[in-house]
Structure 1
């Protein structure tokens, strides 16, 4: 990913936390000499060295993904930034947070591993519900999916949050975004303005 110096995020713990907080990503691989992508939730292993997910067995991406280098993209909040919000001259742009993970994909069909992945995903996204749904899967349902484990080789992060603008401009950008209801990206700009 092209990352100008002032937008680059290299702190490993920050990048892993971003993945945890924004775990719905795009799994991109090569299939029949063209890029193929699937949008799905991921689990980050406790040691931060692997990502886990599952695909429908009928997904053609499974035909060639095993042992292939893949790209997974995780996005956070984003919004259009108008130059009318600046005190000093500028151009239209977009603020965003994005993390790219490169790694080697390996598929698995072991029922116990699949149950573990599906249960962990359910627990994560059912957490906080008044009456959380309890996973219960038949062998037939599990045969309809294939697990994918991605061994992480490289993580790249970019938070483009007006860091290249003067403090007065960043303040005006945050105020304009809040007025437009873009609270998450405004909060991200505020957080990283203090860094």
Structure 2
């Protein structure tokens, strides 16, 4: 019977914590991630961890402090996963772009070079723009942001480097590889299908 009372007490305490600290934890998570969905998910994970580890809470700190510590650990885990996923995306895309060149680092001919020079009004074609939007969306995140910032928003490279937290030499590499992937995607999804 004592175990059941303890369980009800635990539920009541956790429920009070959810009521008292959800907004504060959400604000902190949003401040650290700039994403509503991510912040909501992280706060939910915090309370699930609190339920799971309730017996480990010894009361040496306030519940708010304990929950904030759990949240900070969840935020760190979130960025570790994001960073790992971005690195995997970058590595895969780098290997893919290397396939565009021969052993002497010259562009491999694919027979579509002439098609690029013939099309003078591509951007006036809504169908082409639709394909280009899809190709841009398929780029790795950092590459997509670099290309959109430079060519659509016309930002300076220094500003883009600061926003993406990359060096200028890495920026030029990201931009170059992004353009290569974009070119390949357009060739496959536009020029090959329309020639």
Same fold (TM over 0.5): no
Q: TM-score, normalised by structure 2?
A: 0.22
> Between Structure 1 and Structure 2, whose CA radius of gyration is higher?
2
Structure with bigger helix share is: 2
Structure with bigger strand share is: 1
